[in-house]
Amino acid sequence: MVQIRTETKADIDAVREVHLAAFGGKEDESRLADRIRESVGFVPELSLVAESDGRIEGHMLISKAELVDGQDAQETLVLAPIGVRPEAQGRGIGGALIREGIRRAEQLGYKLIFLIGHPSYYPRFGFKPAVKGGLVLMQFDVPDDVFMVLELAEGELDRLAAARKEKYGELKYPQTFFA
Ligand SMILES: CC(C)(COP(=O)(O)OP(=O)(O)OC[C@H]1O[C@@H](n2cnc3c(N)ncnc32)[C@H](O)[C@@H]1OP(=O)(O)O)[C@@H](O)C(=O)NCCC(=O)NCCS
C-alpha cells in the first residue's frame, strides 16, 4: 500500500535520494527541491511524499510562482520537481502524487497549476498547453506543448483572458529555480 502524505523534515534525505535516482544521478532536481523548501514560495502542504512499507518511493513539490500581466502580478502555482524511484515507476505512484497535489491546491484556493513536462503524461490529469490560454513562458526556451497549465477553477483561463491588459500573460518562475 502506498500512502501519500505531507513531507516532514525526517523525509528530506530520502527525498534527495528519490530525485537522484529518478533523474539518473543528476543533482539538479534534488537541489531544486532543497532550494524551494527554503524559499518564500514553499507551501508545506504541497510537498508530498509517497511512502510504501516505510520507504519513500516518490516526491512531488508544488510551489508559488507569479502570473504577470503588464504591471500586475498574481500568485500562482508551479509543479516541480516530481520523481519516483526507477524500480517503483509505472505503478501509479506519480499519478497518485499529482492527484493529491491537485486536490490540496484546489482546497487551498489556488486557481491554476503550471508545469514544464512530458506532453504524453500530464494531459491525463487535465493539463493542457498554456499558450492556448494566451499564457507564455519567456524564462525557458521550450516547445509550446511542454508548457502546460491545469485549471483548478473552471473557466479561470477565459476569465483571465477577458481581464487581460497585455496581449499575453506571462508565467514567471521565482529566482529559486535559477540559483
Ligand atoms: C514521470 C514520473 C514521475 C511518473 O511516475 P510514475 O509513478 O512512473 O507514473 P505512473 O505510474 O502514475 O504513470 C505511468 C505512466 O507515466 C508514463 N511516463 C513515465 N515517465 C515518462 C516520461 N519520461 N515521458 C512520458 N511518459 C512517462 C509511463 O509511460 C506511464 O504511461 P502509461 O500509463 O500510458 O503506460 C516517473 O516516471 C519519474 O520519476 N520519471 C523520471 C523523472 C522525471 O522525468 N520527472 C518528471 C519530469 S517532467
- Peptide linkage before 44 cis (omega within 30 of 0): no
pLDDT band at 152 (very low <50, low <70, confident <90, very high): very high
Residue 32: predicted pLDDT: 98
Residue 146: predicted pLDDT: 98
Phi–psi pair at 159, nearest 5 degrees: -60, -45
Range 73-78 average pLDDT: 97
> Which helix (H) or strand (E) segment is 5 a member of?
strand 2-6
Around ligand 1, the residues with Cβ closer than 6 Å are 22-23, 82-84, 89-95, 117-118, 120-121
Judged against a pLDDT cut of 90, whether residue 144 lies above it is answered with: yes
Residue 35: predicted pLDDT: 98
Residue 97: which of 120, 74, 113 has the closest Cα?
A: 113
The best mutation among 48, 84, 147, 150 to test binding of ligand 1, ranked by most ligand atoms within 8 Å of the C-beta, falls on: 84
CA angle 16, 63, 83 (to 5 degrees): 35
pLDDT tens per residue, range 45-70: 999 999 999 999 999 999 999 999 99
Is the pTM higher than 0.75? The answer reads yes
Distance 90 CA to ligand 1 centre (A): 7
Going by alpha carbons, the residue nearest to atom 22 of ligand 1 is 118
Residues linked to residue 115 through DSSP beta bridges, in sequence order:
148
**What is the set of domains in the chain, with CATH numbers?**
2-178 (3.40.630.30)
Residue 179: predicted pLDDT: 82
34/176 Cα distance (integer angstroms)? 10
pLDDT band at 99 (very low <50, low <70, confident <90, very high): very high
Atom of ligand 1 nearest to the CA of 98: 12
Distance 95 CA to ligand 1 centre (A): 8
